[in-house]
Amino acid sequence: MKQSKAVAAGTARLSYADSTVELPVYSGTAGPHVIDIRKLYAETDVFTYDPGFTSTASCESSITFIDGDKGVCLYRGYPVDQLAAQSNFIEVCYLLLYGKLPNQQEMTTFDRSITLHTMVHEQLAAFFRGFRRDAHPMAVMCGVVGALSAFYHDSTDVNDPRQRDIASHRLIAKLPTIAAMAYKYSIGQPFIYPLNSQGYTENFMRMAFAVPAEEYKVNPILAKALDTIFILHADHEQNASTSTVRLAGSSGANPFACIAAGIACLWGPAHGGANEAALKMLEEIGTPDRIPEFIARAKDKDDPFRLMGFGHRVYKNYDPRAKVMQKQARIVLDEVGAHNDPLFQVAMELEKIALKDEYFVEKKLYPNVDFYSGITLRALGFPTSMFTALFALARTVGWIAQWKEMIEDPHQKIGRPRQIYTGEPMRDYVPLAKR
């Protein structure tokens, strides 16, 4: 079992009414210190209040660290832009799961294990038939990934490290197969089985784009770009969907059901659904001359419109993933001959204007990982409706690494927040005849 690595860093004193409580403060490797309030309610009879958890650390983690002011994102200490430039997604999966870069033997063994889990139970294909062909792929992914728990419910003892490992490998391996099946089902084409001779991302592209009627040759430049995009989306501290997976897992729920919960949360346009929303926004803007109109709407408090792909709870500087995404966008657009894609021109112009606008400067709103991903994924051949499903495919390794860390945390207990109650005071029931 993992021991805490937080270091005592003094105490904080909190006084309220006639009580004063001393609370221990801890520091980590980097980032803000934390005030441990676990005994606060017992000693003062009050709760803290932090809707949206803007000032709350929900757990101790050693997986990913984000420095929002410096625009830094580290996976197990390695900068995400270095991994994007020098590593590959399967190696990053190993890193996130096991905390270190693998040697050749470890890499070969891990890669083989993932490959051998890429097929899904043949019965799983039946679940797709229940959906209409025009069902959103994220609705399909929620349902089918949740259904995986029916296939492994009796072989997932979350307290058995070996079974946790197998569940992790199964999820990392099967998400591309299920995402490709969701895409094929939506366009009425037959499912394509995985091919063990292919690499992880090449296999996914083949399952998504090949047809039985002819040979399919993966474009290595496009496969490398998509593999890099998967690296950028792999994990991101305690974001909404990861926190959902942790909370679901804290009850001891089946890891497949927990990942389905994460997929459901990621779907929201404020979170992983932003890549789909950002492309739709760029299509609505259409041409650079309409940008000022949309910038004005984004600044108008009475208009719910926001610049999709802009802003972030943590990054108050440029999202380092957005920089790499922009580079991948250029590579893919050039490779597919769409370097003059008008939406890319609009995106570049929108970024330039927004970053000079005092509203965005003052509120520290920069492009995030979702701003350029839609343009790139569309150029790779995916429909807009598949963008968030691809995000879920890549984020599964982060979710399951965080789930494993939570289960192995000796301090872990079921998550059960409290509230400030502002409803009716206690009152007696009034029979209908007297109302």
| Tokens 């998400």, residue located | 175
Catalytic site includes residue 370: yes
Q: Which of residues 210-269 bind ligand SDX (CB under 6 A)?
A: 236, 239
Q: Which of 309, 328, 332, 374 binds ligand SDX (CB under 6 A)?
A: 309
Interhelix angle 220-232/387-407, nearest 10 degrees: 50
Please tell me whether residue 274 binds ligand SDX under the rule CB under 6 A: yes
Told to check if 307 binds ligand SDX by CB under 6 A, we report yes
- 118 or 275: whose CB is closer to ligand SDX? 275
**Helices in 31-79 by DSSP H: which ranges?**
40-44
Q: By CB under 6 A, which span of 57-65, 310-318, 335-343, 400-408 interacts with ligand SDX?
A: 310-318
- The active-site residue out of 312, 319, 341, 409 is 312
Per the listing, tokens 């003052």 go with: 362
- Write down the residue that tokens 């000693």 correspond to: 43
Positions 151 through 180 that interact with ligand SDX (CB under 6 A): none
Phi, psi (rounded to 5 degrees) for 294: -80, -30
Choose one: 16-24, 42-50, 365-373, 425-433; the region binding ligand SDX (CB under 6 A). 365-373
Q: Is 312 a catalytic residue?
A: yes
Cβ distance to ligand SDX smaller for residue 314 or 353 = 314
**Binding status of residue 369 toward ligand SDX by CB under 6 A:** yes
Give the Å distances, CA to CA, from 323 to 102, 201, 256: 27, 22, 33
Helix axes 240-249, 387-407, angle to 10 degrees: 40
Decide if residue 116 touches ligand SDX (CB under 6 A): no
* Edge-to-edge order in the sheet of strand 7-16: 7-16, 19-27, 34-35
Residues 37 and 372: their CA atoms lie apart, in Å, by 40
Q: Does 284 bind ligand SDX (CB under 6 A)?
A: no
Residue 312 found at the interface with ligand SDX (CB under 6 A): yes
Crossing angle for the helix pair 274-285 and 369-380, nearest 10 degrees? 80
Residue closer to ligand SDX by CB (options 304, 337) is 304
- Rule CB under 6 A: is residue 308 a binding residue for ligand SDX? yes
* Helix ranges (DSSP H) in 212-319: 220-232, 240-249, 255-266, 274-285, 291-299
Site stretch for ligand SDX (CB under 6 A), options 100-108, 136-144, 173-181, 302-310? 302-310
Q: Looking at 82-90, 120-128, 361-369, 427-435, which segment touches ligand SDX (CB under 6 A)?
A: 361-369
Measured CA to CA in angstroms, residue 363 lies from 299, 311, 347 at distances of 11, 9, 20
Which residues of the shown chain bind ligand SDX in the complex (CB under 6 A)? 236, 239, 270-272, 274, 298, 306-314, 363, 365, 368-370
Catalytically active residues, by annotation = 312, 370
